Amino acid sequence: MTNLKCLHAASEVAGFAKTGGLADVVGSLPLALQSRGIECAVVMPLYRACRAAKITPTEHRFRVPIGGRLVEGRLWRGKLPGSEVPVYLIEQADYFERDDDATDRGIYQFTDAKGQKADYADNCARFGFFSRGILEVMRLVNYWPDVLHLHDWQTALAGAYLREIYQHYAKPDLRGNYGRIRTFFTIHNLAYQGIFWHLDLPMLGFPWRLFTLDKLEFYGKLNCMKAGLVYADRLTTVSPTYAREIQTTLLGCGLHGVLMQRAERLHGIVNGIDEHVWNPAVDLLIEAKFDATTLDKGKSLCKAALQRAFKLAQNPRTPLLGMVSRLAVQKGLDLIEKVVPDALRQGAQFVVLGDGDKVHRDMLLKLQKDFPSQVGLSLGQSEAISHQIEAGADIFLMPSRYEPCGLNQLYSLKYGTIPVVHATGGLADTVVDATPQNVAMKRATGFAFMPFTPTAFADALNRCLTMFRDEPARWRQLQQTGMLQDYSWQRSAAEYERLYRLALNEFV
């Protein structure tokens, strides 16, 4: 088979900057592809957070027109942690180096005077510039991929720049190189689309003829996600169930029509997990290492450490619920508010690590105030605490309203922590509900509920608490079945490779 070259582009990459699962995916998938013989590189913006990683400047600079002026970018270089996979970082200090923990400024959003998170007003220019920069990187470092793999709306305009501008108007000797590239666009979350007013179209250098229903226009506005959907040669999303759900009015976020039209080109591939990072047998961030055979001892040490860290009573038989989450409507925090108090009244404990919207932070603070000796709360980002909750909790709550894939339930399975999930998207594809039949067949790995109502969630959580209390042998069976599931990246990478080859063969 011929060698393949693939350039991944994303707005966050683990080891450099992260707000959610996207970073984990883009930090891992290229490594798995590389180990299958596909040469990979990654491109991302250079935020302030990236300066903590090992990166070095290069001499490469480029300028592109944004809003009537030329904006300069400079390339830096790093590597994906523990590998030789190059990461190109686009430096543009005004656009990208404004993140700052001290003033609560993130990579997409800042915190206003009332404590609310708001998007930066110039996100269109920032990520339009980045999208165009992706194509400049190829030219500057002479890296011509067979596949340009774009992730989420922040990179989506690269597809439009490629097909509408670069393959026709780049220097004549480069047009062929651009024209040969096949593009993949992965939807990690359809709800975040990058919608901006119409005048951002000329600001980014696109002609008005692209402002049509079949291209970039969306209810009178510019929609970056839509550009990703219409220009890519292939579309993927991060689970088969989500691939179906986004073709419905309920979860299609206004783009279900476009997705239905491209259904034959849309594939769902479940994410993997990085087993060097998320694996209780090697995890250095947790109290005690364990695997499926040393589960009882290891997990009870991790549980006691978690209870200690959050100043909760250290009783091994008390069910300890855990949650690690962006605090956003997507994550079903309204169900947490309605259902968890009852579990606490039954004596459970609850530990949460979360970062995000003020309404959800306030809700969790109130829960802690109402149950001070049973609720442990950490607001903010912490890699270490996220591992400690996965390792120490008995039960992991993930009642997401929708969930394209979800990584935390996969981490939970690996750590013998039983997930309770809403059966949507990737949660439906990865957690097998403990029905009597699934338990008898030793297939069950967690508890899944539908529909998205407090009653259904409460019912699943009660089934879970009952098994924890009354059926320790069955509980252990669930834990071990979950721990033995294969969610390594190799499975997913094989599927991506198959699609890359399919796409390339179609056009030669």
Which residues contact ligand GLC by CB under 6 A? 20-22, 25, 188-189, 238, 271, 403-407, 426
- 402 or 475: whose CB is closer to ligand GLC? 402
Beta bridge partners of 66: 69
Q: How far is the CB of 406 from ligand GLC (least distance, A)?
A: 5
The secondary structure of 34-78 as a DSSP string is: HHTTEEEEEEEE--GGGGGS--EEEEEEEEEEETTEEEEEEEEEE
203 near ligand ADP (CB under 6 A): no
**Main-chain dihedrals φ then ψ at residue 287, nearest 5 degrees:** -60, -45
Q: Please list the alpha-helical segments (H only) found in 255-294.
A: 256-261
**Part of the chain binding ligand ADP (CB under 6 A), chosen from 245-253, 303-311, 403-411, 477-485:** 403-411
382 near ligand ADP (CB under 6 A): yes
Are residues 33 and 496 in contact, defined by beta-carbon separation less than 8 angstroms? yes
- 238 or 434: whose CB is closer to ligand ADP? 238
**Part of the chain binding ligand ADP (CB under 6 A), chosen from 262-270, 339-347, 404-412, 467-475:** 404-412
Are residues 27 and 80 in contact, defined by beta-carbon separation less than 8 angstroms? yes
Please report, as residue ranges, which positions from 10 to 29 form the binding site for ligand ADP (by CB under 6 A).
20-22, 24
407 near ligand ADP (CB under 6 A): yes
Q: What is the distance between the alpha carbons of residues 192 and 107, in angstroms, rounded to a whole number?
A: 14
- Nearest to ligand GLC by Cβ — which residue? 21
Q: Out of 324, 364, 420, 448, which residue is the one contacting ligand ADP (CB under 6 A)?
A: 324
Chosen from ligand GLC, ligand ADP, none, partner binding at 238 (C-beta under 5 to 8 Å by type): ligand GLC
Q: Out of 353, 391, 421, 456, which residue is the one contacting ligand ADP (CB under 6 A)?
A: 353
CA 318-320-325 angle, 5° bins: 170
- 9 or 407: whose CB is closer to ligand ADP? 407
Q: Retrieve residue 369's tokens.
A: 């105030």
Instruction: Name the CA dihedral angle for 496, 502, 503, 507, rounded to a multiple of 10 degrees.
Output: 160
Contacts of 317 (CB under 8 A, 6+ apart): 469
Q: How far is the CB of 396 from ligand GLC (least distance, A)?
A: 14
- 355 or 433: whose CB is closer to ligand ADP? 355
DSSP 251: T
# chain residues binding ligand ADP, by CB under 6 A: 18
Are residues 420 and 398 in contact, defined by beta-carbon separation less than 8 angstroms? yes
Binding site for ligand ADP (CB under 6 A): 20-22, 24, 324-326, 353-355, 381-383, 386, 405-408
